[in-house]
Structure 1
């Protein structure tokens, strides 16, 4: 330990035990513990305790206090555990008496035994119970600790804390039991102990017997506690002894399936998956049977996470994966079955939908239906990869997706009997047979869109009336799943357009998207705009997509949403219109219903949003669109490049949102790179900047930067109160300085600019006076100022974190003492 820290430590310990002194806040105590942890991990700590007796004295005095402060007591318990983790320190704390406190007895039993805090009023504070558990967790590192835990009765206290009212305390108690069990099983018993436990250490036997009693309990809370302990054990302990533990406890776990209802089903699922992922899973064939039984006994809501986990297991039998596949398929099947008013899709995997009672039960709970639909749609990509599993279940013995004995689905253009129900791509009722003859993505994409209809009110069935409440969450997952399907769809042989299946799907998808953009639910409108942006980014150049989009009225609806009352929707509409415009797919809505925007360009409207919108999200989105337009050589940019940059920078410089100002500097950097002849990639449908024009000379570049007032914007931002803005400005000016230096500056041509006024303005800005603008600047004056500024040093200072001041332990001790007046003000060092 540093000598100065040793000098300050007694005073700090005295402050901590003095009830008249204010207690240091939790942050300082945590930092102090972090320091002690670093010291103890660096090497043997016995000498540290011997040379600093104030630490042991602190522990005794906290115990002796009539009403110890909970935070200090918790700190002391954790500190004692840190030192006692080393066996020599453990022995030292056991026998060392207090030098100034008339306190007899061993210190550690007084801290962690029944005669310690457990019986006092401070024990009612969760922070004390948590500190007690954390102290024991640190202490339990060696065989001596096991004997100590058994002698002081700590294990029984840990059992009781599993049901603590504080979730943090209860969780810590369960994790500590797992740690003690693993510590006890080290050594001779770590091989393959007998399941009966006759050769297990006493401490391990006590914990396992407690788990067994809890599994037999009729109280769900106790069952949950036992399952959680076992889940953590099999998740973290992969030694051979865990196999004997599972052999001993698996019958009790299986007995839980016989109860109605199954207690602690969520914890049971976690345990079974934890065992299946551990080495035990590969050696116990009976585990697969238990998993299959559990899938059969759990409700759809409970079985979903288990089914998903099973599908991700590597060595799982195919029959079990088929069963899990059907469980995850059931939410979509129930909704579509109810919406279609049909008994069940022909050829659909048997049991996937269930009977009418199953469907009604599933649809009766809105929260359950929402959760399961989102889960199914979120993992549609995984299900798509497992189509062969479903086909093997539908057509036993086929084993491949090429089986053709099933009836073929009607062609999309063929008439269907009865009234035409809304459908997209292929009808869900032909799902299984279509999987055998069509590329899987088509079927799954159709499933997504059918799901949208069913849950958003397209059907006239009464139960679906509450489906409008589901649109936000379910639609977002459906959009995400569909995008993944579209991105993975096969390309046509020519690779110049979308494949026929995707074209067909998009043709029927866009009307659904149009309806979602008109939804009264803002989440549906927002998700629809995000999806439109993403598909346009990927397929804006495909002729079939362009034709279908322009015929769908979606671009016009997107423009209307620029004035949506919800700021998130406005931001998404800005991004979508910007993407559409980049591909030449956006036209400002015209007509008598929109007289106010007939003569406005999109640039003018977005600039108006940047200047007037009260929310930051739309303004940030506008800046991102403008920056991308500048990179792409958008038509509105190429028409008058300097005017475009000047107007955008003027609006951005006055914005109160630091992200808008930072994005303005990003746009300025793109503009500078283009002037220097380094344009980025451009959209093929954009109006490109002249490629044949040679890069401008340095003088021309500087003049253009002055005309758009880029220097004023960047120099002001250099002293911005938000550090990211100042960093971007510094990087921009350094980039320009580096480009200008090799070319020779104006001063080398004989010019001697007067830079006094510019430097004076910078000094005012640095002092916080931002009122007066620089006015018109000459390039020579600007470059002279840049050469005189230490931009490299400023960048280094800005790169430091806000707490870059000295953070040494000595500084921490000084500050803690200064807050209570022990040190003079000049001795404190801001930590």
Structure 2
């Protein structure tokens, strides 16, 4: 322990033991416990207590009848557990009857303080820390603590109840870890008494008619099989699995969600997954649980590698059933493939489909979400006929281990089902039965289902499908984009799904050309987009601009897209939205203008009747936003666009990079938003790379090129910006500046050599200015700099050390144990003001 901390510790213990003193807040006590835990992990707890008897005195003082706060009592219980985690220290504390006093009936268990949840929680956490060795196990058995843990599982405080369950897992693991260290799993009769007691308790809970007790046992077992990997878990599962399976015979099944968690936890355990009885129980659970309850189990089973194929098919059918019901509820065209072929007996009965709107919505949303997780594994799109017939031998690339997508994948019926769901939601579906009418009434206008269905529809674009279904997909997407009833969030999802389907319909895949049908859709999309950019709702305008930016990024060079876009009012509306009253929209407009400009799509068409009106260049427009916009989002977007323009060689910037970069850097250096300043330094770094070559292995630039580059950097006043940023109060700015100057230093002076450059006449003034800036005086500028002076200053600065300093946490000093002890003592006036380090 640090000598200064050792000097302060007795005073701190006295303050903590004094009920009259205002106690430090919970945060300070937590930090204090973290410090003691780190100290004991690094050395001997027994030696610590012997060298600092004030700690033992504090623990004994807590046992005296007095009006101690519950926080201090909880702190003392947890502290004692940290010390007693080492067996020799445990025996030292046990000899003085300290541990029975703290954790047994004589202590808080029999006092009024036990009514405080924080004391019960501290008692549990103290025992959890203590339960590390055989002596602790005997103490738990002899002190009656295990029975108390049983009772705390039903504690009204959820935190206490959860911690009690975790402590039971810890006790069970500690009790069985030693006997099971050999290769043979011990039989139940060979288990230690403490383990047998816990297992008997779990058995009683599983047999109970009270659902809360069943839930408690299932939670304990889930944690046990999820975290304990010993051979003894095989014996435990063999003993308890019949009781778990018996729960599925009850009507209704108790604690279904906890039961699903347990079955999945056991199935994921490498020690237990080979048990054939497990798969039988899982199959029984899929058939006994309701569709809503079985969904998470089915999805989890599909993520398992060693699962039997029959169970995988059953699980997939569970996920498909809600969508199959939707298809059955509408008039289907002849020949439309069904999700569950020949499934008269398998299809979810109409009577069992959730009758309430909330349950129906929840079931559909969960099914769509689970299926969505499987679809991203689709590789190159194949024709619908191939999908219907199943994969050809040797044609599919091996799938990633998790999750495993079922094969064949029913792409066409899934597309039909999702389109049907979206039609139910907007009221355009044609129900073919009374059940379909009820379903339509429950789903119409449901934003939650619309969002989930549009997400899944977008993911299904990776598999394509028959042309007639693709036509229906674009039709329903256009309906949602046009409809005045579509909420802003639904519109955003519709835009995203449309983009994904447009991308998937490129011919061939990866090409920038759109297939003929998609080109026809494009005209309608631009008409919709033109309308949405004029929406009174800012979220809609924002989503429309994001969609435009993405479309332009992908098809800005495609002829039909360019023609359609330039024939619309979209480019001009985008310019106008640079003045939108909402800052998010202005930021999205900046990004859209940047993309349109990169492809030359902001030039207004002119004719004798409508001559082109002279306009500012995009560069001038965005520079105006950077220098005048009052919000940070648009200014940050401008910096990203300028950086992208410079990096990609945008024509207006590439023509004279220095002239384009200089005003942007000047504006960024004065910006009050630290992210804008960081982006400005990133722009400067890209400019520097274009002058001297890319970052990477340290190679010096040729002298001539270096001189020209330094002169250009001086002209754009980069060094004023970079040197001042080294001392910026926002760490990311200083770090980015340090990276930039280190890169320049490496290019100017290769590793292992010193390039001789004479000191210019203003080197001393530059170094003096840097010292003033470091001291917080930011007034005087550097003025014009000579390249020689810049190099001399760079050589004299220890930028590597500065980089290491900036990498440290800003509160690494204030978080020191000494600072913590000083602050806690200063709070109660034990220290003078000059000794405190409050933060």
Q: TM-score range by the shorter chain?
A: 0.7 to 0.9
Tell whether the 8 Å contact from 2:387 to 2:411 is kept in structure 1 after alignment: no
> How far 1:262 sits from its partner (Å)?
3.9
Secondary structure of the residue aligned to 1:188 is coil
Residue 173 of structure 2 is aligned to residue 154 of structure 1: no
CA distance in 1, matches of 2:109, 2:523: 66
> How far 1:66 sits from its partner (Å)?
1.3
Tell whether the 8 Å contact from 1:536 to 1:580 is kept in structure 2 after alignment: yes
Tell whether the 8 Å contact from 1:561 to 1:569 is kept in structure 2 after alignment: yes
Residue 70 of structure 2 is aligned to residue 76 of structure 1: no
Q: Mean Cα displacement is larger for which, 365-374 or 163-172?
A: 365-374
Tell whether the 8 Å contact from 1:455 to 1:468 is kept in structure 2 after alignment: no
Question: Equivalent residue for 1:471?
Answer: 490
CA distance in 2, matches of 1:807, 1:145: 33
Residue 370 of structure 2 is aligned to residue 379 of structure 1: no
Question: Equivalent residue for 1:204?
Answer: 195
Tell whether the 8 Å contact from 2:177 to 2:232 is kept in structure 1 after alignment: no
Residue 643 of structure 2 is aligned to residue 650 of structure 1: no
> How far 1:4 sits from its partner (Å)?
5.4
> How far 1:379 sits from its partner (Å)?
1.4
> How far 1:716 sits from its partner (Å)?
2.6
Deviations 1:684-718 (A, max 9, x none): xxxxxxxxxx9964443333223322222223323
Question: Equivalent residue for 2:813?
Answer: 805
Q: Normalising by the residue count of structure 1, what TM-score does the alignment of the two structures yield?
A: 0.77
> How far 1:8 sits from its partner (Å)?
3.8
Residue 734 of structure 2 is aligned to residue 726 of structure 1: yes
Residue 464 of structure 2 is aligned to residue 442 of structure 1: yes
CA distance in 1, matches of 2:411, 2:114: 71
1:628-639 aligned within 5 A: 628-639=644-655
Residue 493 of structure 2 is aligned to residue 497 of structure 1: no
Tell whether the 8 Å contact from 2:40 to 2:83 is kept in structure 1 after alignment: yes
Secondary structure of the residue aligned to 1:30 is helix
Question: Equivalent residue for 1:126?
Answer: 117
CA distance in 2, matches of 1:582, 1:766: 41
Secondary structure of the residue aligned to 1:203 is helix
Tell whether the 8 Å contact from 1:82 to 1:135 is kept in structure 2 after alignment: yes
CA distance in 1, matches of 2:519, 2:352: 33
Residue 638 of structure 2 is aligned to residue 622 of structure 1: yes
* Structure 1 pair 333–703 and aligned structure 2 pair: CA distance change class (3 A): farther
Secondary structure of the residue aligned to 1:650 is helix
Tell whether the 8 Å contact from 2:668 to 2:676 is kept in structure 1 after alignment: yes
CA distance in 2, matches of 1:408, 1:812: 61
CA distance in 1, matches of 2:630, 2:326: 41
Question: Equivalent residue for 2:213?
Answer: 222
1:385-464 aligned within 5 A: 441-443=463-465, 458=480
* Structure 1 pair 356–618 and aligned structure 2 pair: CA distance change class (3 A): farther
> How far 1:666 sits from its partner (Å)?
1.0
Q: Mean Cα displacement is larger for which, 544-553 or 376-385?
A: 544-553
Q: Which of 592, 606, 627 is the matching residue for 2:622?
A: 606
* Structure 1 pair 530–448 and aligned structure 2 pair: CA distance change class (3 A): farther
Uncovered stretches (5+) of structure 1, i.e. residues with no partner: 97-105, 413-419, 423-437, 681-693
Secondary structure of the residue aligned to 1:23 is coil
1:353-368 aligned within 5 A: 354=348, 361=355, 368=362
Deviations 1:10-51 (A, max 9, x none): 332212102233323434433332333233334543333334
CA distance in 1, matches of 2:298, 2:285: 10
Q: Which of 173, 186, 192 is the matching residue for 2:185?
A: 192
Question: Equivalent residue for 1:85?
Answer: 85
Secondary structure of the residue aligned to 1:599 is coil
Aligned length: 769
Tell whether the 8 Å contact from 2:5 to 2:818 is kept in structure 1 after alignment: yes
1:551-570 aligned within 5 A: 562=578, 566-570=582-586
CA distance in 2, matches of 1:274, 1:539: 47
Question: Equivalent residue for 2:61?
Answer: 61
* Structure 1 pair 635–498 and aligned structure 2 pair: CA distance change class (3 A): closer
* Structure 1 pair 566–406 and aligned structure 2 pair: CA distance change class (3 A): closer
Question: Equivalent residue for 1:35?
Answer: 35
Deviations 1:191-250 (A, max 9, x none): 4355xx444333223322332333344444333222211111111123233233223333
Q: Normalising by the residue count of structure 2, what TM-score does the alignment of the two structures yield?
A: 0.77
CA distance in 2, matches of 1:649, 1:440: 43
> How far 1:649 sits from its partner (Å)?
1.5
CA distance in 1, matches of 2:826, 2:206: 54
Deviations 1:154-186 (A, max 9, x none): 222222322334433222211111111111223
Tell whether the 8 Å contact from 1:112 to 1:154 is kept in structure 2 after alignment: yes
Question: Equivalent residue for 1:251?
Answer: 242
Uncovered stretches (5+) of structure 2, i.e. residues with no partner: 397-407, 416-422, 426-459, 697-701
Deviations 1:247-300 (A, max 9, x none): 333333334434555443322221111111114553322322332333334444
Residue 164 of structure 2 is aligned to residue 173 of structure 1: yes
> How far 1:726 sits from its partner (Å)?
1.8
* Structure 1 pair 163–49 and aligned structure 2 pair: CA distance change class (3 A): same
Question: Equivalent residue for 1:717?
Answer: 725
CA distance in 1, matches of 2:337, 2:394: 19
* Structure 1 pair 739–465 and aligned structure 2 pair: CA distance change class (3 A): closer
> How far 1:613 sits from its partner (Å)?
3.5
Deviations 1:652-709 (A, max 9, x none): 12322101101101111211222335599xxxxxxxxxxxxx9964443333223322
* Structure 1 pair 43–770 and aligned structure 2 pair: CA distance change class (3 A): closer
Residue 286 of structure 2 is aligned to residue 283 of structure 1: no
1:289-368 aligned within 5 A: 289-330=280-321, 345-350=336-341, 354=348, 361=355, 368=362
Secondary structure of the residue aligned to 1:60 is helix
Question: Equivalent residue for 1:688?
Answer: none
1:527-546 aligned within 5 A: 537=553
* Structure 1 pair 712–133 and aligned structure 2 pair: CA distance change class (3 A): same
CA distance in 1, matches of 2:410, 2:3: 86
Q: Which of 676, 680, 683 is the matching residue for 2:692?
A: 676
CA distance in 2, matches of 1:18, 1:557: 71
Tell whether the 8 Å contact from 1:8 to 1:814 is kept in structure 2 after alignment: yes
